Amino acid sequence: MTPNEEPRISVASVNIEEEMKTSYLDYAMSVIVGRALPDVRDGLKPVHRRALFAMSDLGLAHNKAYKKSARVVGDVIGKYHPHGDVAVYDTIVRMAQDFSMRYPLVDGQGNFGSVDGDPPAAMRYTEIRMAKITDEMLADLDKDTVEFGPNYDESMVEPLVLPARIPNLLVNGSSGIAVGMATNIPPHNLREIIDGLVMLIDSPESTVFDLMRVIKGPDFPTAGIIHGRRGIEEAYLHGRGILQVRGRAEVVPMERGSRDSIIISELPYMVNKARLVEKIAELVRDKKITGISEIRDESDRRGMRVVIELKRGEIGTVILNQLYKHTSMQTSFGIIMLALVNNQPRVMNIKTALSLFIAHRKDVVVRRTRFELRKAEERAHILEGLKIALDNLDAVIKLIRQATDPETARNGLMVNFGLSQLQAQAILDMRLQRLTGLERDKIIAEYKEILQTIERLRAVLASDSLVMGIIKEEFRVIRESYGDLRRTEIVDESADMSIEDLIAEEEVVITISHTGYIKRNPVTLYRSQKRGGKGKIGMETKEEDFVERLFSASTHDYLLFFTDRGRVYWLKVYQVPEAGRTARGKAIVNLINKAPDEQVTAVMPVREFSANTFVMMATSAGTVKRTALSAYSNPRVAGIIAVNLKEGDSLIGVSSTTGESDVLLATSDGMSIRFREDDVRDMGRTATGVRGVKLRNGDRVVGMEILAPDTTILSVTENGFGKRTNASEYRIQTRGGNGVINIKTTKRNGSVVGIISVDDTDELMMITSSGKILRMNVTDVSVIGRNTQGVKFLNVTEGDHVVSITKLAEKDDSALEDTSEEDAADVDSGQAVDPPEV
């Protein structure tokens, strides 16, 4: 290039998308491998490993003097970890906190923070050294047991992993957030993990469930209680799971007065005690928890003790459940067992994690044995030379005395006695005192001993079983030296906290009106009355409304609301508002999240979602479906599918069955069919169903009844006609046929609007399209045959017609007011009785 010639610049075209993708992946892997995730072998991230290695370099063993934390931090960032001193100090602080680490790796002197969230003192004030257990993490590091690599400026080397006799990944756990992934491994009990390792060595085919017999679950340094084993099982099987962890608290009576107090002695892992106390105070101030009179933190160096005094008459267990619900007294711990395996992130189950640690220990023991064998063979080689010199002592001494310089003496020894250079040099370096008889015996004894050592080390390298025996023995020593009792208790019960735990279980009466109002009242409101009583009004209704359903249930029971669109909505009984005896209650539409034009077809009270109970459904198009009640045990707020309806079809009837009942379907054209329930096979929740009755053009199903013995079927037509027929007149047929006549439909009486299974004690309500309501007793309706038109119930004006027929849930005994004195006394007795279930 001439002085006037401009330099040539080489320009390469790069696709920006590919460059961004490559650069980001390089950055992500750098974070994953170099900062955020622990290695499965020693359970340490690079910063932890470098801090411990720097302390080892400084000679800060557990039995040596402490050194200032700032000295260690300076060595770490200067030699191995060129990042901020605050991050390194925070790492060291956490390894010294007994409430963060199950087995702390650093022994600290000074203020290293507290469970209240107090910060540690500055690094210039605190002093540290390695904990005794950390010796086991670094043991044999000088015996070529692990690979070393250059530090950040290649001026020194550092271990890429520690030998780690302790299964640190599991006993101390780890947490970290990388790029696109995170790890959260809980701490465990050392004894249990060692027992699991030994089981896996003895029986490599052991399953996760076998390991769970000895490894019960996580063991947090702050103790607490794990509720349920399902999350543990999922984490140990698949590497991911969620634990419900509660603090330990008990309700105890106070020394003075008739009040109770709650004593909190343990907290869930990583919960800040001071913030917890503040949160409880906020809940009391905001009146979200009203039964607490005073909160005191009486914790000291002997242990944790938070006292919550309750007001007089408050139930301690209820307040405690409210604390579990609204505070961090109960937390979720999400387990993600993610660690680096061969520098690649991998989610693993408990067996894989233990197996990889055993493989690491095997590699360490084999490398250590090879190192010791090499050193033993080198020493044996030297001793062989010394032995030759002692056997030829006079000749050796004469040769050395005649030599002009050391090199001549060395070469003479090598030539005359067949020695190697190392052996010859060792003879020249030998002190004269080694020539005494006693010293000569020592050399011979050492040589014999070193030969035995070589034989033993070679046998170890030739046998996997001997290697595994050494590993097991090391595990046994670790277990006896550092193992302790489990702190965290595991209980079988596991249920998410719900408001149900805050509601006392009691029997109540649910009242539902025809126009869709619902409420609940204590069952004691309905007192027992004898014959002739006047009864008690359960709901004041408008003139056009009436009580359609009334049944008793527990506050912890469920209500299933089925709609004409084939959906089901789920409501707990305690979520139904309690109202006064004569109040209307609240509209159902305000309690469930249904569509505005969606109509509730049926309400089913359920105490338990049993697989032996079934739900029978019928649609207007003649389809029927039978599904196990247990299929509806997990609905969503927006409802779930109860039956898959075809376009234009609607759900018209829902009933619970035992699986052995008879089903009756009735159509608007006056046809009906009776068939055995088991003709309809059990189907899934989202199934469409099968044909129940074959319909003629324009016909539709208007009613479904589950028949009981000795019952009668009431049929009503749109022009106000109706009749009762004994159920025995409806013979059992095969599902899907045309059926038989239920009632003759003509222009005079019109089409059928509904059927009901009734007995002589029932009262009926008929509603017309104009809003007229007729109330009548079932006994006023004659029992006649199927093939008839029925009798007139109601005079329907032109343009009006009957739209529905239903039973009245409440009985009106006002006509029987003439009671005896004995009966009158019974009315005021206040004796509680369950109302009839309808």
Q: Is the pLDDT of residue 304 over 50?
A: yes
Residue 525's pLDDT is what? 63
- Using an 8 Å Cβ cutoff, are 519 and 586 in contact? yes
CA 506/CA 459 separation, integer angstroms: 74
* pLDDT digit string, tens, across residues 574-618: 878 777 666 777 888 878 888 888 888 888 888 888 878 899 999
**How far apart, in Å, are the Cα atoms of 595 and each of 347, 563, 569, 600, 639?**
44, 10, 11, 10, 10
What DSSP line would sit under 634-671, residue for residue?
S--TT-EESS-PPTT--EEEEEEE-SS-EEEEEETTSE
282 three-class SS: helix
Is there a common fold for 44-163 and 248-328? no
Which of the two residues, 711 and 433, has the higher pLDDT score? 711
Residue 171's pLDDT is what? 97
Give the sign of the dihedral formed by CA 128, CA 131, CA 132, CA 136.
negative
Residue with tokens 């780690």: 164
Q: Which of 604, 607, 571 is nearest to 589 (CA)?
A: 571
Tell me the CB-side half-sphere exposure of residue 253, using CA atoms within 13 A.
5
Fold of 503-817: Neuraminidase (2.120.10)
- Using an 8 Å Cβ cutoff, are 20 and 28 in contact? no
Residue with tokens 């070193």: 450
CA 61/CA 624 separation, integer angstroms: 78
Is 125 tagged catalytic?
yes
Q: Is the pLDDT of residue 633 over 80?
A: yes
Best CATH choice for the domain 248-328 from the list 3.30.1360.40, 3.40.50.1820, 3.50.50.60, 3.40.50.1100:
3.30.1360.40
* pLDDT digit string, tens, across residues 144-184: 999 999 999 999 999 999 999 999 999 999 999 988 899 99
% the chain with pLDDT above 90:
53
Give all strands (DSSP E) within 156-259, no chain letters.
157-159, 174-177, 182-185, 225-227, 240-246, 248-253
Q: Lowest mean pLDDT: which of 416-430, 574-588, 590-604, 770-784?
A: 574-588
**How far apart, in Å, are the Cα atoms of 194 and each of 39, 171, 490?**
19, 10, 19
3-state secondary structure 450-463: HHHHHHHHHHHHCC
Expressed in angstroms, the distance from the first to the final Cα of the chain is: 105
Contacts with 434 (C-beta within 8 Å, 6 or more apart), sequence order: 386, 440, 443
pLDDT band with cut points at 50, 70 and 90 for residue 429: confident
The secondary structure element, H or E, covering residue 806 is strand 802-807
* pLDDT digit string, tens, across residues 717-761: 998 888 899 998 999 999 999 999 999 898 888 899 999 888 888
Report the chain's mean pLDDT, rounded to a whole number: 86
Q: Which of 657, 649, 681, 677 is nearest to 665 (CA)?
A: 677
Active-site entry in 24, 27, 125, 152: 125
Q: What are phi and psi for residue 242, nearest 5 degrees?
A: -125, 125
Q: Residue 734 corresponds to which amino acid?
A: T
Question: Phi/psi class of residue 586: alpha, beta or left (left: φ > 0; alpha: ψ in -120 to 50)?
Answer: beta
By CB neighbour count within 10 A (0-12 exposed, 13-18 middle, 19+ buried), where does 479 fall? middle
Which of the two residues, 524 and 412, has the higher pLDDT score? 412
Residue 674's pLDDT is what? 93
Residue 832's pLDDT is what? 31
CA 174/CA 226 separation, integer angstroms: 19
Residue 581's pLDDT is what? 65
Residue 596's pLDDT is what? 80
Give the β-pairing of 489-491 and 225-227: parallel
19 three-class SS: helix
Q: Lowest mean pLDDT: which of 427-431, 524-528, 571-575, 616-620?
A: 524-528
* pLDDT digit string, tens, across residues 44-60: 999 999 999 999 999 99
Q: Residue 229 corresponds to which amino acid?
A: R
* pLDDT digit string, tens, across residues 441-473: 888 899 999 999 999 999 999 999 999 999 999
Residue 519's pLDDT is what? 84
Tell me the CB-side half-sphere exposure of residue 405, using CA atoms within 13 A.
1
CA torsion 712→643→736→726, rounded to 10°?
Answer: 0
CA 803/CA 801 separation, integer angstroms: 6
- Using an 8 Å Cβ cutoff, are 219 and 196 in contact? no
Record the pTM.
Answer: 0.62
Domain borders along the chain are 44-163, 248-328, 358-482, 503-817
What DSSP line would sit under 750-764, residue for residue?
-SEEEEEEE-TT-EE
By CB neighbour count within 10 A (0-12 exposed, 13-18 middle, 19+ buried), where does 490 fall? middle
Give the sign of the dihedral formed by CA 150, CA 151, CA 157, CA 158.
negative
- Using an 8 Å Cβ cutoff, are 646 and 602 in contact? no
Q: Which of 377, 466, 372 is nearest to 143 (CA)?
A: 372
Residue 837's pLDDT is what? 34
**How far apart, in Å, are the Cα atoms of 345 and each of 32, 342, 436, 487, 799?**
8, 8, 62, 30, 77
Which CATH code is given to the segment(s) 44-163?
3.90.199.10
Q: How many CB atoms lie within 10 A of CB 55?
A: 24
Number of H helices and number of E strands within the chain? 18, 40
What DSSP line would sit under 582-621, residue for residue?
T---EEGGGTS---TT--EEEEEEES---TT-EEEEEETT
CA 103/CA 169 separation, integer angstroms: 11
- Using an 8 Å Cβ cutoff, are 304 and 207 in contact? no
Tokens (6 digits) for 702: 């208007």
CA 732/CA 660 separation, integer angstroms: 13
Fold of 358-482: Topoisomerase; domain 3 (1.10.268)
Residue with tokens 């290697």: 467
Q: Which of 148, 135, 164 is nearest to 360 (CA)?
A: 164
- Using an 8 Å Cβ cutoff, are 611 and 630 in contact? yes
Tokens (6 digits) for 758: 């009734």
- Using an 8 Å Cβ cutoff, are 623 and 642 in contact? no
Give the sign of the dihedral formed by CA 799, CA 805, CA 808, CA 813.
positive
396 three-class SS: helix
Q: Mean pLDDT throughout 95-111?
A: 96
